[in-house]
A and B are shown apart, each in its own frame.
Chain A
C-alpha cells in the first residue's frame, strides 16, 4: 500500500476523504484503485506516456499530479481542483514532514508508538527527550531498556520529578557513562541498583548530593567497597578487600540525635561484620581487646580465710569471676597463688580485703606453696599486704605466667 498523506483540515469539507493514495504513475493508480469513492483524491508522482503525440495517432499522456475520481474514472482535467491541490503539494515537503513533536506542536491525546526494533534516535550530542515542566511527563519503559551508552551522556531526573520502577527491568549505565545524577529526586523501589566502574564488575556506589538516610534491602547483607563510605541498615556488612578501596568506617543512625561511628583497621582478608540485631544483641566475630580497662561484672564473696591459702580457689570462683571479696580471721593471712587463666585469655582479677577491724591480707611473692603458673609477682620481689577496704588488682601476664600487679599493691 502506498503512503498516506494527511493534511491538516483535510476531509473537513466535501467528501472528507483526503488523499487516498500516492502512486508512481497513472497505470499504477488505476491498477491499485480501479474504483474509489467519488471525489477521492490521488497523487501520481510521475507523468506517463508521450506528451507531444496526439491521441488520434495512438499517443497517450498522463500528467503527474493530483487526480480526482469522478465516480467513474481518475481524471486530472478538473483543473481548478487539481491546480489548487497541486499548488499545495508543491509548497509542501512531502518527503520531510515537520515532526509533530517540534517545538510548540504536540500530538495532543495520541501516544507515540514505535514498532519492535525501532529506535527514537538523536542526531547530535545535544539532543534530548524533553518532558515539559508542569506536565505529567513520564518515560515509561515496559520490558525494555533506557540505554545511555555514549561517552558524556547522562540520564537526568530533575527536582520534583520521579523515577519510578514499576515496569523497570533494568537500567544500564555502561562503563563510559560519566555519571548518574539524581537531583533532589526520589526513587521508590529498585530491584537491583547497580553501578559499574571501569575497574571491576563490582558496585562502586550511589553518589547522591544529599545525605543518605538509609539504604535498606530485603537481603540482610549489604556490600560496600569504597573507602570512607557509610552504610546504614542491613544485618551484615561485608567489607571487601579485593580492590584498592575498602570501607574504613561504618555509621549507624540510632534514631536519635547523633551517630555512633565505629572505625576499624582494614583487614587483609574479607570478613563479615555483624551489626545490631532486632533484640539489641551485637554479635562479635572476634574478641575485643581493651587496654587499661577493668570491667566488673561477676563478684563473689568468699568464705573467711582462716589459714594461709595455696592455689586459692574459693567457693564460687570460676573463669568469669572479676572480684573476690574476702574476710580474714587473723592478721596477715596469706594467699600464695590463684588458678591461672587459660593460655591466650587476658584476665584482671580483684581481691578485696573486707575485714572490718585492722587485719591485713597478705600476698606471697612467687611462693612455692602454689603451682608456678598460679603465683604472684609482687613489687620489690617481696610479699605485700592490703589493709581493710583495699583491693588488689592482679593482671595475669602470660609472658611470665604469673599474676602481676595491675595497681599498686601494698
Chain B
C-alpha cells in the first residue's frame, strides 16, 4: 500500500505517493495533513474514473453505430453495471474492482467484457494505490 512521503530540505517540498520510502523523503504521519492529501488524491481518482467511463461509453455508442450491439442490448448493459459505473465515476476504484469481480454475466456483459474491465481496474490500482 502506498503512503505519502514529503521531500526533505525543500521550502515547498514535493509529496509523493509511493510504495516505499524514497531517498530524500520522509513519511507524512500528521493526520490533518494526510486527510488533505487523501482528499486531493481521491479527486484525481474521481477524474480518472470519469475519464474511463466516458471512454467506455463512447465505445458502446460506436458499437451501436457499427452494428456490433443493438441499442437494446446496450440499455440492458447499462442497467446491469450501474452500480459498478457509479463507483468508478466517483473514484472508488478498489470498490469497483470488487464489484466487477463479483458481477454476474448478463447479455453483452460477457466474460470478455468483464475481463477487459477487470484488467483496466486492476492496472489502475496497481499504478495508483
Footprint of B on A, CB under 8 Å? 331, 360, 366-368, 372, 375, 377, 380-383, 385, 400-402
Contacts of B11 in A (CB 8 A): 400-401
Q: How far is the CA of A368 from the CA of B10 in the complex (A)?
A: 11
Q: Are B44 and A382 in contact (CB under 8 A)?
A: yes
B residues 36-53 near A (Cβ < 8 Å) are: 36, 40-41, 43-44, 47, 51
Q: Which residue of B lies closest to A360 (CB)?
A: B51
Q: Which residue of B lies closest to A378 (CB)?
A: B40
Between A375, A381, A385, the greatest number of chain B beta carbons within 10 A of the residue's beta carbon is seen for A381
Q: Are A367 and B14 in contact (CB under 8 A)?
A: yes
Footprint of A on B, CB under 8 Å? 7, 10-16, 22, 36, 40-41, 43-44, 47, 51
Q: How far is the CA of A401 from the CA of B10 in the complex (A)?
A: 11
Q: Which residue of A lies closest to B13 (CB)?
A: A366
Q: How far is the CA of A400 from the CA of B10 in the complex (A)?
A: 11
Q: Which residue of B lies closest to A402 (CB)?
A: B12
Partner of A377, one of B12, B41, B44, B51: B12
Q: Are B14 and A366 in contact (CB under 8 A)?
A: yes
Q: Are B12 and A382 in contact (CB under 8 A)?
A: no
Q: Are A383 and B12 in contact (CB under 8 A)?
A: no
Q: Which residue of B lies closest to A364 (CB)?
A: B14
Name the distance in Å between B93's Cβ and chain A's nearest Cβ.
16
Q: Are B40 and A368 in contact (CB under 8 A)?
A: no
Q: How far is the CA of A166 from the CA of B19 in the complex (A)?
A: 94
Determine the main DSSP class of A at the interface with B: loop
Q: How far is the CA of A385 from the CA of B51 in the complex (A)?
A: 12
- Known: A368-B7, A372-B10. Is A383-B44 also a contact (CB below 8 A)? yes
Q: How far is the CA of A360 from the CA of B54 in the complex (A)?
A: 14
Q: Are A381 and B14 in contact (CB under 8 A)?
A: no
Q: Are A382 and B40 in contact (CB under 8 A)?
A: yes
The 9 closest A-B pairs by CB, nearest first: A368-B14, A382-B40, A366-B14, A382-B44, A372-B10, A381-B40, A380-B40, A368-B7, A400-B12
Q: Are A380 and B43 in contact (CB under 8 A)?
A: yes
Q: How far is the CA of A377 from the CA of B44 in the complex (A)?
A: 15
Q: Are B44 and A368 in contact (CB under 8 A)?
A: no
Q: A372-B14, A383-B44 are in contact. List 5 more A-B contacts (CB 8 A).
A: A368-B14, A372-B12, A382-B40, A400-B11, A400-B12
Q: How far is the CA of A367 from the CA of B13 in the complex (A)?
A: 9
Name the distance in Å between B20's Cβ and chain A's nearest Cβ.
14
Q: How far is the CA of A380 from the CA of B36 in the complex (A)?
A: 10
Contacts of A382 in B (CB 8 A): 40-41, 43-44
Partner of A366, one of B12, B36, B41, B44: B12
Contacts of B15 in A (CB 8 A): 366
Contacts of A400 in B (CB 8 A): 11-12
What are 19 contact pairs spanning A and B, CB under 8 A? A331-B51, A366-B13, A366-B14, A366-B15, A368-B14, A368-B16, A372-B10, A372-B14, A375-B12, A380-B40, A381-B36, A381-B40, A382-B40, A382-B43, A382-B44, A383-B44, A400-B12, A401-B11, A401-B12
Contacts of A372 in B (CB 8 A): 10, 12, 14
Q: How far is the CA of A49 from the CA of B17 in the complex (A)?
A: 142
Between B10, B11, B14, B47, the greatest number of chain A beta carbons within 10 A of the residue's beta carbon is seen for B14
Q: How far is the CA of A367 from the CA of B36 in the complex (A)?
A: 17
Q: Which residue of A lies closest to B40 (CB)?
A: A382
Q: Which residue of A lies closest to B42 (CB)?
A: A382
Between A331, A360, A366, the greatest number of chain B beta carbons within 10 A of the residue's beta carbon is seen for A366
Q: How far is the CA of A17 from the CA of B123 in the complex (A)?
A: 139
Contacts of A381 in B (CB 8 A): 36, 40
Contacts of B14 in A (CB 8 A): 366-368, 372, 375
Contacts of A401 in B (CB 8 A): 11-12
Name the distance in Å between A199's Cβ and chain B's nearest Cβ.
54
Contacts of B10 in A (CB 8 A): 372
Q: How far is the CA of A401 from the CA of B13 in the complex (A)?
A: 12
Name the distance in Å between A362's Cβ and chain B's nearest Cβ.
10
Q: How far is the CA of A400 from the CA of B14 in the complex (A)?
A: 13
Contacts of B44 in A (CB 8 A): 382-383
Q: How far is the CA of A395 from the CA of B16 in the complex (A)?
A: 24
Q: How far is the CA of A83 from the CA of B15 in the complex (A)?
A: 133
Q: How far is the CA of A400 from the CA of B12 in the complex (A)?
A: 8
Name the distance in Å between A375's Cβ and chain B's nearest Cβ.
7
Q: How far is the CA of A382 from the CA of B40 in the complex (A)?
A: 6
Contacts of A375 in B (CB 8 A): 12, 14
